[in-house]
Structure 1
Amino acid sequence: MTAWLVRILPEVRRRDVQSDLADPDRLHKRLMMLVPDEIGEKARAQGGVLFRTEDTRTGLQILVQTTMKPELSRLPDGYGEIAVRELDGLLTRLVSGTRVHYRITANPSKRLGRNAGPKAGKIQALRGAAAEEWWVARAAAGGLAVATVTSQSQQDIRAKGTVRHAAVRFDGTATVTDADALRAAVLGGIGRGKTYGCGLLSLALARS
C-alpha cells in the first residue's frame, strides 16, 4: 500500500495554529482535512491518518502520515511550510535483517485485571522501565527486534480538560524480523491514542 508523509512547519503566530496546537480535538480535525470527507466510518483509519508533533532545532513540526494522497490545498493558506514525500521506497526496502533507526510517540498502557479491585478493567499508563518493556514487546509483535531504546515522557494529551493519553517518545535502533508485520505496523500505527498524536512509527535505514 502507498503511504505519504507530510511535514508541516506551522506558522505559530497564527491564531488558528495556536488554537489547533492547544486543543487535541481541533488538531485532529485540522489534519483530517488532508484526506477526503465522507470516506465512511472510522475515517481516520480509512485514510491511514497518523501524526506526531515534536520540537526540533528549527522549531515545532507536525508529521502526518496518510494512506490516501494528501490534499494539501485543503489546509488554510499560510498555515505553515509544507513538504510531502511518498514512503514506498522505504517500505519496499524493509526486509528481514535490515537495521533501522526508529522513533515513535506512543501511549504505553495496560488494562488492569480483576486483582486491581475497584480499578479493574481501567487503563493504566506505564512509565519508565515498564513503558520501555511495553515498547519492546509491541515492537517485537510489529516485526522489530529492539537493540537500543531511550524513552522520554511527553506532555499529557488532554482533551476537554481531562487527560486522554499519557505519551512517551521512544528512540533507538532495531533489526527487522518480519517485514510484512512491520509494514502493517507503520501503516496502521501502534497502540492507543492514534486520534491524538500517538502511534506513528518513523523509520530510517541504518548505515551498514
Structure 2
Amino acid sequence: MYLSRIQINPARRGGQKLLGSPQAMHAAVLSSFMGDADNRGRVLWRVDRDEHKTWLYVTSSPRPDFSHIVEQAGWSTTQVEEGSTQSGWDVRGYENLLGSLAAGQTWGFRVTANPTRSTRRGGSQTGATPSGIQTAKSQRYGHVTVDQQLEWFTQRTTGWGFSVAERDSVLDVTVHDRRTERFRRGGQTVTIAKATFDGVLTVSDADALRQALVGGMGPAKGYGCGLLTLAPVG
C-alpha cells in the first residue's frame, strides 16, 4: 500500500478543471495506475485545501505515476513542497503504519465523507438533499447540517475500529469544509454533500481500523470521500 501527495495549482486551467469536477479528478487519479480495475484494487483520494496550499492525497495498492496530473494541474518541480520528489509528488509506503496499529493508541485524524441516509422513494428528509444515487425502492439523501453530519459520523466510529476522544466532556472532532458538489454522470446530475472531520481518535479494533484505512469510509468513495489519514498527536 502507498500514501501519495500531490500539490495542485488552483491557478492553472488544469487545476481548476480537476478541483471543479469530482468526475474529472476521479478519471485523472485512476489514469495514474497501470492495468485494469481488478489489478488496481481500491483507490481512494481526497482534496485538502489549507490556507495557502491545495493537496491531493491518494491511497493505493499499486505504486502510482502522477506525471500527467503534475503536468496538467501541478506546480513546477522548483516550486513543489520541500520533501517531495523531483517528479512533483511524494509517495510513501503504508504497510509500516498499518502493521503498527494497536488498540489503545491515540491518533489525530482527518477524513472527508459523504454523510447520507436512505429513505423510501417519495419520502422526505428534513435538512437533507438528494445525493443523486437511488435504487428502485430507495433514494439516498445527503445530510447537510452540522448536527446531522456529526451524528452520522459518531454513530459509525465503532464499526471503523475507533472512538473519538473527549476533551472536557466534549467530543474532540470538528466539522468543516462543508460543501455540496454537483456533476453530470451518464446523463444525470449527481449531488454529493461533503464534510471534513478533524479530531483525535482512540483505536478500539486495529483490524477494523486497517480495513477503514484501506477500503474507505462511507459512500461516494470514487468521488473524493472516505480516505482517512492519521497523524501522531502532539
TM-score (norm 1): 0.86
Q: Which amino acid in 2 is paired with 1:135?
A: F
1:163 CA displacement: 4.3
Cα deviation code 1:89-132 (max 9, x no counterpart): 22122100001111100001111158937997211212322211
1:36 to 29, 34, 41: 34
Unaligned runs of 5+ in 2: 75-87, 131-136, 166-171
After TM superposition, the structure 1 stretch with the greater mean CA deviation from structure 2, 64-73 or 195-204, is 64-73
1:67 CA displacement: 1.5
Cα deviation code 1:129-157 (max 9, x no counterpart): 22111111222101011122111252212
CA distance in 2, matches of 1:117, 1:130: 15
> 1:186 — aligned with what?
213
Residue pair 1:101, 1:204 contacting (<8 A) in 2 also: yes
Question: Matched residues, percent identical?
Answer: 32
1:61 CA displacement: 1.0
1:82 to 69, 75, 89: 89
> 2:178 — aligned with what?
154
SS for the counterpart of 2:102 is: coil
CA distance in 1, matches of 2:97, 2:231: 8
CA distance in 2, matches of 1:27, 1:115: 32
Paired residues for 1:50-65 under 5 Å = 50-65=44-59
Q: Which amino acid in 2 is paired with 1:34?
A: S
Unaligned runs of 5+ in 1: none
Q: Which amino acid in 2 is paired with 1:49?
A: V
SS for the counterpart of 1:154 is: strand
After TM superposition, the structure 1 stretch with the greater mean CA deviation from structure 2, 123-132 or 159-168, is 159-168
2:199 to 154, 172, 175: 172
1:158 CA displacement: 1.4
CA distance in 2, matches of 1:125, 1:72: 31
Q: Which amino acid in 2 is paired with 1:20?
A: L
> 1:100 — aligned with what?
107
Higher fraction of helix: 1
1:175 CA displacement: 0.6
